[in-house]
Amino acid sequence: MPLVKPEMTARRLVSQPSRLLTSMAVVASRLVAEGLAEIGARRYHYALLSTLAEFGPSSQAALGRRTGIDRSDIVSTMSELEEARFIERLSDQSDRRRNVITITAKGETRLEELDGQLRQIQHSLLAPLTPAERQQLVKMLLKLCVHHAGNGGSN
């Protein structure tokens, strides 16, 4: 949904935190999607490469649990990343149901590149906020995430 100027939005509507949150998420998603598309990437690429870089080789299922990406979408994204040689996908010798996914050196380089692009994106997303406000915002959003991830999202 396109963002509407708050001045022309019904007051009841514009003051709903859920609406503010989803409106800004739309903006953020667009900035991220467009910014990454410029260099031929998608959100999932960053999520998966950064997870592989931090936690080391993993099965696809483990990556799904860590990132929240559906098992089914992991499959297709892995095929993309494999084709570009950003990851290697080998079948696990100790458990032959699994693939072991490993980030390659080329993948690490790619990750740096994505990092740079994302830094710029976050900057333009948060442009109107002071550094202190940005920290505040992140802190509160994290608090919300921790709370709502605590259980299966039951409250």
User: What minimum distance in Å lies between the beta carbon of 71 and its own copies?
Assistant: 12
| Site for DNA contains 42 (CB under 7 A) | yes
Say whether residue 69 binds its own copies (CB under 8 A). Answer: yes
Stretch that binds its own copies, among 60-68, 74-82, 84-92, 97-105 (CB under 8 A): 60-68
Q: What single DSSP character describes residue 87?
A: E
Inter-CA distances, 125 with 40, 120, 128, Å: 20, 9, 8
149 binds its own copies per the rule CB under 8 A: yes
Closest CA to 42 of 79, 89, 2: 79
For its own copies, the binding residues in 89-128 under the rule CB under 8 A are: 115, 118, 121-122, 124-128
Q: How many CB atoms lie within 10 A of CB 61?
A: 13
Return residues touching DNA (CB under 7 A).
Answer: 1-2, 33, 42-44, 59-62, 64, 68-76, 78-79, 89, 95-99
